[in-house]
A = this chain, B = another copy of it.
Amino acid sequence: MKEDEADDSQKGINKASKGGIIYGDYLQLDKVVKAQVLQSELKGNKIHDEHLFIVTHQAYELWFKQILWELDSVREIFISGHVRDERNMLKVNTRIHRIVMIFRLLVDQFSVLETMTALDFYDFREYLSPASGFQSLQFRLLENKIGVPDNLRVPYNRRHYRDNFKEHESEMLLSSEKEPCLLKLVEKWLERTPGLEGDGFNFWKKLEANIFEGVCLEKKKIVKMPDSEEKEEMMEELTKQKELFTSLFDIKRHEHLLSKGERRISYKALQGALMIYFYREEPRFQVPFQLLSNLMDIDTLMTKWRYNHVCMVHRMIGSKAGTGGSSGYHYLRSTVSDRYKVFVDLFNLATFLIPRHWVPKLDPSEHTFLFTAEYCDSSYCSSEDSD
């Protein structure tokens, strides 16, 4: 090519770019929108709909990448201790909320793939074998980093989930299991909730006292009522409630539930979460409360995503095995259970709500601590992103 031709070939873009970067190069579109190779075409029987199948999955993986990006940054803030500077709570919350919004999109995204019928899929699914969504490295990393524990995973084709991956991927997975997951980081953070200190406000002890006093008063009221079916029922109800609360303050039971995987966070963390629940309107707890809500949103949306996935698979392949040889539909159904809900404790705390007047009152000085955060001079806020 002669020099002036080269100049010519860049004519348009030079006017536009003035030496800076242009859109297509910035986004590396030569990679992204040229990575659609149809197996059916390679095998001499090009099937139109395979393109949709590829693009949809690539879009999922792009978003998984983004979720991992947010998740890693949030975990880093927790791990580094920067979360103690409350200025970082906005960042944490915004990023967790972003994950929520992405999952919301991913749930909706099934509606696009559902424009492909089972019959269209049948035309090319044989070419994909044994590739399977189960082999999505990013999704497994995501689960590990949020906090799906290895021992609660449903077995897949009677093989450990890591054995479906290449060696270096398997190592990444193993290492992600060993790093502190979001659940564990949030647990540590909850354990530090101000107000839990035994030699300070001592929330848990005050709460226990208030609750049993409340239950006791309630009982007295009922006892005074004339005998009736209603009275009996109320008494029965109260007894059940009392048992429930007794169980809440029974640390041994907590340890037992932990060991069975029915609870996931420490007893202290549970107390912190309940404290944030009850005092959520205190300025210092407003953003932490939002964080807990957002964490439940992630759980809920991941579980909805799983369920939408199940629905689509049922439609595409009936109850037969998936492309990777898995039992497909039935395997996926089994993952839509509370075993895979990481923050299940936050949901279950709804079982232990109490009337507002049972909540221990903050006296003025106690109240204050909720309003104040120590001054923190770290230059972290502005520098975090550039490290």
Query: How far is B375's CA from A138's CA once the two chains are assembled, in angstroms?
Result: 48
Select the stretch in A15-23, A142-150, A201-209 that faces chain B. Answer: A15-23
Q: Residue A377 at the B interface, CB < 8 A?
A: yes
Q: Residue A225 at the B interface, CB < 8 A?
A: no
Interface residues of A in 299-327 (CB under 8 A from B): 300, 303-304, 307-308, 311, 314-320, 324
Q: A22-B130, A31-B31, A353-B118 are in contact. Are A13 and B166 (CB under 8 A)?
A: yes
Q: What 0/1 readout, one digit per residue, does chain A (1-18) give for beta carbons within 8 Å of chain B?
A: 000000011111101111
Contacts of A104 in B (CB 8 A): 111
Q: A28-B35, A303-B311 are in contact. Are A115 and B97 (CB under 8 A)?
A: yes
Contacts of A304 in B (CB 8 A): 304, 307-308, 311
Query: How far is B349's CA from A316's CA once the two chains are assembled, in angstroms?
Result: 10
Chain B minimum-CB-distance residue to A287: B286
Contacts of A123 in B (CB 8 A): 356, 385
Verify A112–B118 contact, CB threshold 8 A.
Answer: no
User: What number of copies of this chain does the assembly contain?
Assistant: 4
Interface residues of A in 45-99 (CB under 8 A from B): 45-48, 51-52, 54-55, 57-59, 61-66, 69, 73, 86-91, 93-94, 97-98
Query: How far is B287's CA from A350's CA once the two chains are assembled, in angstroms?
Result: 25
Verify B348–A319 contact, CB threshold 8 A.
Answer: yes
Q: Residue A108 at the B interface, CB < 8 A?
A: yes
Verify A105–B112 contact, CB threshold 8 A.
Answer: yes
Verify B58–A27 contact, CB threshold 8 A.
Answer: yes
Verify A135–B350 contact, CB threshold 8 A.
Answer: no
A68 to chain B, nearest CB (A): 9
Q: Residue A281 at the B interface, CB < 8 A?
A: yes
Contacts of A36 in B (CB 8 A): 28, 65
Verify A280–B90 contact, CB threshold 8 A.
Answer: yes
Select the stretch in A184-192, A212-220, A250-258, A364-372 that faces chain B. Answer: A364-372
Contacts of A300 in B (CB 8 A): 311, 315
Q: A44-B386, A54-B27, A130-B18 are in contact. Are A118 and B168 (CB under 8 A)?
A: no
Contacts of A138 in B (CB 8 A): 33
Q: Residue A152 at the B interface, CB < 8 A?
A: no
Query: How far is B118's CA from A348's CA once the two chains are assembled, in angstroms?
Result: 10
Query: How far is B307's CA from A205's CA once the two chains are assembled, in angstroms?
Result: 38
Q: Residue A296 at the B interface, CB < 8 A?
A: yes
Instruction: Choose from B17, B31, B62 the contact partner of A59 (Cβ within 8 Å).
Output: B62
